[in-house]
Amino acid sequence: MKHLLALSSFIDRISAGIGRFLGWLAVLMVLLGVINVVGRYLGAQLGLQLASNALLEAQTYAYNLIFLLGAAHLLLRDGHIRVDVVYSRFNERGRAWMDLLGTVLFLVPFCVLVIWFSIGYVERSWNVLETSPNPGGLPRYPIKTVIVIAFVLLLVQGCSEIIKCVDRLTRPPTRADSRSGSGAA
């Protein structure tokens, strides 16, 4: 179990690092939005074209990256939605069982299906080197590739969560575990 926990810790560090990167990417996304708005209005006043489709699409791509790559970081930080009314009634072992079952029965199969069905979609985009139909737009195949990467990262983070749940379930219960929550799993 010690080696699996070390692997889980490594995965967690990767997800945390991606989360830090995405925080800075959010700042860049806001700056791109400001540049686009200022360029559009200033350009209209000066009679020049200061805004561009590439900047607008770059802002959208930054949002896509934050949304897609942020899923694994959100899972690490326990930020995904669950039915807390039910979850809060369980003790630590019950919560571990609920997390384990939810990850194994729902998250892992969902990630595998999205990866499976996305590969052909991304491959077709790469085959034609798909670009935006807008004048001056950006290539689309790199951002479509992020779909597969994001769900692989989410799947890997899910595996880390499974390791941590199994560790919580195999540890001997403490007195605090039996006091927290009103139910047992």
* Percentage of the chain modeled with pLDDT above 90: 62
Residue 95 lies in a domain: yes
Residues 6 or more apart in contact with residue 33 via CB below 8 angstroms: 59
Give burial (CB, 10 Å; 0-12/13-18/19+) of 102.
Answer: middle
pLDDT digits (tens, 9 = 90+) for 133-157: 888 889 999 999 999 999 999 999 9
Q: Which domain holds residue 64?
A: 2-178
At residue 83, the pLDDT reads: 67
- Domains in the chain, number: 1
Residue 185 lies in a domain: no
Residue 184 lies in a domain: no
Residue 133 lies in a domain: yes
Residue 165 lies in a domain: yes
Residue 109 lies in a domain: yes
Q: Quick check: pTM over 0.85? A: no
